[in-house]
Amino acid sequence: MEPVMASIPDIGNAGMGISKDNSAEVEQFRCCVDEIFQKVDELEQKVNEVEQFYLNTNKKQQSSSRGSSFGKERDKERHVPSIKKQQQDASRREAAAAKRMQELMRQFGTILRQITQHKWAWPFMQPVDVKGLGLHDYYEVIEKPMDFSTIKNQMEAKDGTGYKNVREICADVRLVFNNAMKYNDEGSDVHLMAKTLLEKFEEKWNQLLPKVTEEEKRREEEEAEAQIDMQLVREAAHAKLVREICNELYEVDTHLEQLRETVVQKCRKMSTEEKRNLGTAIARLSTEDLGKALEIIAQNNPGFQAMAEEVEIDIDAQSESTLWRLKFFVKDALEGQGKSAASAGGNNNNNKRKKEICDAIAKTAKKKSKKPSS
- Tell if the pTM clears 0.75, that is, is over it: no
| CA–CA dist 235, 60 (Å, integer) | 14
Task: Give the pLDDT confidence of 170-208 residue by residue, as tens digits.
Answer: 999 999 999 999 999 999 999 999 999 999 999 999 999
Angle, vertex CA 42, rays to CA 41 and CA 44, nearest 5 = 65
| CA–CA dist 86, 93 (Å, integer) | 10
Task: Give the pLDDT confidence of 321-360 residue by residue, as tens digits.
Answer: 888 888 888 888 888 877 454 454 555 555 665 556 556 5
Q: Looking at the predicted structure, is the pLDDT value of residue 2 above 50?
A: no
Give the CATH class of 268-338+347-369: mainly alpha
| CA–CA dist 50, 234 (Å, integer) | 10
| CA–CA dist 275, 277 (Å, integer) | 5
Cα-based torsion angle of the residue sequence 308, 329, 341, 361 in order, rounded to the nearest 10 degrees: 50
Question: Which amino acid type is present at position 12?
Answer: G
| CA–CA dist 253, 247 (Å, integer) | 10
Return left, alpha or beta for 160; rule: phi > 0 is left, psi -120 to 50 is alpha, else beta: left
**Listed range (116-120, 267-271, 272-276) with the worst mean pLDDT:** 267-271
Radius of gyration in angstroms for the set of CA atoms belonging to the chain, rounded to a whole number = 40
Alpha helices in the chain (DSSP H): 23-63, 69-77, 83-116, 138-141, 148-155, 166-183, 189-266, 272-283, 287-299, 320-337, 348-370
Task: Give the pLDDT confidence of 276-309 residue by residue, as tens digits.
Answer: 888 888 888 888 888 888 888 888 777 776 666 6
- Sequence-distant (6+) residues with CB within 8 A of 241 are 46, 49, 50
Question: Which amino acid type is present at position 195?
Answer: K
Spans of all domains in the chain = 83-218, 268-338+347-369
Domain 83-218 CATH superfamily? Bromodomain-like (1.20.920.10)
| CA–CA dist 128, 145 (Å, integer) | 8
Contact status, residue 329 vs residue 7, Cβ threshold 8 Å: yes
